[in-house]
Structure 1
Amino acid sequence: MKILTILTILFGFSQCGSSSIIKNPAFKVEKAFYNNWVGGQKGVAGTKLEIQLENALEIEFDSIYFQNKIAKAEVVVNGNKVQLIGHFSTNVNIKRDVILDSNPTKELENTLPTAKKFPFQLEKNEAIISFNKDGKSVFYKVKNIKEVQSRAFPTAQKNN
């Protein structure tokens, strides 16, 4: 009986997080697409997501959640259309301050990387956009995001 009660409570709390995802926003998604890109240096890469919206001029957008990453929404207004852009780094060259020493006790001062739990369960072609409505954060799921051709940036020329 206790297990059933605990499961009921846990299920109730799990539904609270998804209740702020709205189904019918005031805006309309015209199209959404993303492309992966690689830079001119080894390990430098990322993903650029673009979402084009109608009827969204009055909305204050905040963040975009995509492929287990979060980015600040870049808002570009073009006439009566709004374009949200999210830049997601997949850079493997991120430097961390690490103590390497022959004395293992000195290495204990190294900080462990923190794994943040991603707040949404999304498919590879889905994103969540967050915006403010009546002073509260509201979320909308964008589905069927198309992947377009990847882009490679050349290595910068070195001057001697």
Structure 2
Amino acid sequence: MKTFKLLSIFTIIFSFSQCASLQLENNPPFKVSTASFINWSGGQQGVKGMNVEIHYSSNKTIEFDKIYFEDKVANLEVKPSRKNKLVVGFFSDNSEFLDTDKKEFFNLSKKEAIISYKEDNKLKYYKIKEVKQGKQVFYPSAPKQ
């Protein structure tokens, strides 16, 4: 019984410490200029997904990690861009779903996203308040041979 109590106490403490570590940053080392998403389909029957593009500026090199959007999680990839810097999250039908703890903590509306990045070897989170919808893209499937 005593072991069960101790285990319960440690579980509760660990849960609170996890929530405390997910604080959102107000002043990240970058500035988001635009964020938008497009739904895409094609290439093969039943294949579809969504790309979220985030244009930003910064004097520092930023190590982006993940994006949390529409109850899903995707890795962020830095892509070349002529104007601003660009990171993209690629979501597909089999993208990872946001776990319940983060879903409740983030409490995102349909137009909001959270991005995670590393600064001084610490994982930090920033909320993008408006992700605009772009046009849907259809990629025609390859011709049958």
- Please report the TM-score for the alignment, with normalisation by the length of structure 2: 0.75
Alpha-carbon distance between aligned partners in 2 of 1:157 and 1:126, rounded to the nearest angstrom: 38
More strand by share: 2
Summarize the Cα distance change of 1:28–1:152 in structure 2 as closer, same or farther, 3 Å threshold: same
Instruction: State the shift of 1:25 in Å.
Output: 1.1
Alignment of 1:39-54 (within 5 A): 39-54=42-57
Structure 1 counterpart of 2:20, one-letter code: C
| Residue number in structure 2 paired with 1:132 | 118
| Residue number in structure 2 paired with 1:122 | 108
Contact 1:54 1:80 in 2 (8 A): no
Alpha-carbon distance between aligned partners in 1 of 2:44 and 2:51, rounded to the nearest angstrom: 18
| Residue number in structure 1 paired with 2:3 | none
- Pick one of 3, 15, 20 that aligns with 1:16: 20
Please give the per-residue CA displacement for 1:81-127, whole angstroms capped at 9, x wherever unaligned.
32010100026xxxxxxxxxxxxxxxxxxxxxx99436232112111
Alignment of 1:88-107 (within 5 A): 88-90=91-93
Summarize the Cα distance change of 1:150–1:115 in structure 2 as closer, same or farther, 3 Å threshold: closer
Q: Secondary structure at the match of 1:41?
A: coil
- Please report the TM-score for the alignment, with normalisation by the length of structure 1: 0.69
Alpha-carbon distance between aligned partners in 2 of 1:23 and 1:51, rounded to the nearest angstrom: 17
| Residue number in structure 2 paired with 1:72 | 75
| Residue number in structure 1 paired with 2:140 | 154
Instruction: State the shift of 1:36 in Å.
Output: 0.5
More helix by share: 2
Alpha-carbon distance between aligned partners in 1 of 2:125 and 2:112, rounded to the nearest angstrom: 13
Determine whether 1:144 maps to 2:130.
yes
Please give the per-residue CA displacement for 1:38-61, whole angstroms capped at 9, x wherever unaligned.
114332110010000011542111
Structure 2 residue runs without a partner (length 5+): 1-11
Q: Secondary structure at the match of 1:42?
A: coil
Please give the per-residue CA displacement for 1:110-151, whole angstroms capped at 9, x wherever unaligned.
xxxx99436232112111111111111001011111001111
Q: CA RMSD, aligned part only?
A: 2.8
Q: Percent identity?
A: 39
Structure 1 residue runs without a partner (length 5+): 1-8, 92-113
Pairs aligned (count): 128
